[in-house]
Amino acid sequence: MDTLKVVILAAGQGTRMKSNVPKVLHRVLDKPMVEYVIEQAQQAGATKVCVVVGHMSKMVEETIKTRCDNVEFALQKEQLGTGHAVKQTGEFIKGGNVIILCGDTPLIRKETITALAKFHEENKNTVTVVSAEAKDPTGYGRIVKNGDAFSKIVEQKDASEDEKKITEVNTGVYIFSGDALYDALGKLSNNNSQGEYYLTDTLEIIAKQSGKVGIFKAEEFDEFMGINNKLQLADANRVMKRRINEQLMLDGVTITDPENTYIGSDVKIGADTIIYPGCMLEGKTEIGVSCIIGPNTKINSSKVADCVTINSSVLDRAEIKSYTTVGPFAYLRPDSKIGEHVRIGDFVEIKNSVIDDGTKVSHLTYVGDSDVGKCVNFGCGTVTVNYDGKVKNRCKIGDGVFIGCNTNLIAPVEIADRAYTAAGSTITMNVPEDSLAIARNRQENKEGWRKNKDK
C-alpha cells in the first residue's frame, strides 16, 4: 500500500469524564490516550496523520505536538457529528486510502490496523467497517446485514427493538477510498434523532453509488473500548497494564506481582531483571539485564545499566551504570549520572551531579551541582551548598576524598584528590591534595554554667 492516511477524531468534550481536562488527554498508565492511537497508526505504516480537535483545541494540539512527530490538525469548531468532524480535514482525505480512528480508543493495536488495510485492499473494497461482537451492545451502532453482506449501520437512538438485539456492533474504525469518502461527505444529511452528520451514513451513500462495502470482524472487542468516564479509564489501564507486563514476562523479565506493577509502553527491560510490587516505571526508561528493582520504586525516563539494585527509591531522568546500588529512600533528580560500583544509600538526594566509580554516599546526604571523583566517601549529613540566593554553583571533589560527617561544602569550592574534611566543618575555600581541612571553632567547656544559669 503506497499511501495510507489516518484521521483521528479527538474533538469531543467528554462531559461524562467530569473533568476540566479534555477527554483524549486523560492518561492510560503514563501517556495521554490519544498518543497511543497516533503511535499505533504510525507504526502500522500511516504516511500522514491528521487529528481533528475541537474542545480545548489549543491544549490538545500543544500536548500532541510536544509528544508526537509528523501530525497535522483540523479544527471542528462545532461538534455536529462524526461525519462533520471528518469533513473538517478537507482535501487531506483525497487520494489513497484513509483510516478513521477514535482518539479515545487507546487499546487499538498496530497489528489490527495493518490487517484491516490488507483486508481492504485484497477485497478491493471502497470502504471497510470494523465490527466486533459485544456482550453488551448498548450505546453502540448496530451492523445490519443482508445475509452476510453489509446493509447499514443503525445508531442506538435510531434503532428498532429488533435492531437493538443485534450484538455485532460498529467499532467506529473504518478504512475508505479517500476520494469516495470526500464525495460522500458532501452528500450527508442530519435528518436523524440527534440532528448530526453521521459518518456511518457515508457507507450507505457509497453502497448506493455501486461502491463495495466490506466488514472486517475483529476478534477482540476490548481493543475498541471507548473511554467515556473514569470507570472505563480504569478498565483501559488494567488492560494496558496486563498487555505490557505479559509481554515483558514472555521476554524474560520477572514481575513478582503483575497486578501491582505499573510499566509504561515505552519502557525497555532486560532479561532476568526482577521487578517487585508497587513499582511505577514510566517514560523512556531503559533497564538492563539482571537488575533488582525493589518494591515501591518510581523511575521516569532514566537509564539503568546491568546488575543494578534499586530499592524503594525515585529516579527522574537519571543515569546509573552497572553494579551500583541505590536506596532505600533515595532520590536521583534530573541529570544525575552515577558510575559503576557506587553506593547511594538511604535518604540521599542527588541532583545534576556526576558521581564517579566506587564512590559511597551512604546516608542522609545532599549532593547537588557537583562533580565527584572515584572512590570518594561521604560521611552522614554532608551537604553541598550549591545556591547562594542568586545563582547555582558547583562543587568539585577529587578522587579518594573523605568527607567527614556533617560537612557543608559551600560552592564553588574544590576538594583535591585524597583530601579529608573534619566532621562538622563548613568548607568555604579550596582544599589541596592530601590535606585535612578543619573549619570549626575550638571546643570550650564552661564549667559550672548550668548552676549559674539557674540562679
Domain CATH code at residue 336: 2.160.10.10
| 382 & 423 share domain | yes
| 331 & 217 share domain | no
| 219 & 71 share domain | yes
Report whether pLDDT(2) > 70.
Answer: no
The confidence score (pLDDT) of residue 192 equals 78
Find the helix or strand (DSSP H, E) in which 42 lies.
helix 33-43
Cα 257 to Cα 261, 293, 298, distances in angstroms: 6, 13, 16
Question: How far apart, in whole angstroms, are the C-alpha atoms of residue 216 and residue 424?
Answer: 74
| 71 & 213 share domain | yes
Domain coverage including residue 9: 4-224
CB burial of 325-362 (b: ≥16 within 10 Å; e: otherwise) equals bbbebbbbbeebbbbbebbbbbebbbbbbbbbbbbbbb
Q: Is residue 307 part of a domain?
A: yes
The confidence score (pLDDT) of residue 453 equals 75
Mean local confidence (pLDDT), 262-269: 98
Q: Is residue 448 part of a domain?
A: no
Query: Can 120 be counted among the known catalytic residues?
Result: no
165-208 pLDDT, tens per residue?
999 999 999 999 999 999 999 999 988 778 889 898 999 899 99
Mean local confidence (pLDDT), 37-49: 96
Q: Is residue 229 part of a domain?
A: no
Q: Is residue 271 part of a domain?
A: yes
Q: Is residue 346 part of a domain?
A: yes
Q: Is residue 378 part of a domain?
A: yes
| 127 & 262 share domain | no
Mean local confidence (pLDDT), 439-451: 88
Q: Is residue 196 part of a domain?
A: yes
Share of the chain above pLDDT 70, in %: 99
| 218 & 256 share domain | no
Q: Is residue 189 part of a domain?
A: yes
Round the average pLDDT of the chain to a whole number and report it: 95
137-177 pLDDT, tens per residue?
988 899 999 888 898 898 888 899 999 999 999 999 999 99
Q: What are phi and psi of 365, to 5 degrees?
A: -140, 145
CB contact set of 69 (below 8 Å; sequence gap of 6+): none
Half-sphere exposure of 164 (CA within 13 A, CB side): 8
| 379 & 267 share domain | yes
| 26 & 174 share domain | yes
The confidence score (pLDDT) of residue 455 equals 67
Find the helix or strand (DSSP H, E) in which 396 lies.
strand 395-397
The confidence score (pLDDT) of residue 1 equals 52
| 196 & 254 share domain | no
Q: What is the CATH number of the domain that holds 65?
A: 3.90.550.10
| 275 & 160 share domain | no
| 154 & 257 share domain | no
- How many CB atoms within 10 Å of residue 26? 19
293-305 pLDDT, tens per residue?
999 999 999 999 9
Number of domains in the chain: 2
| 257 & 133 share domain | no
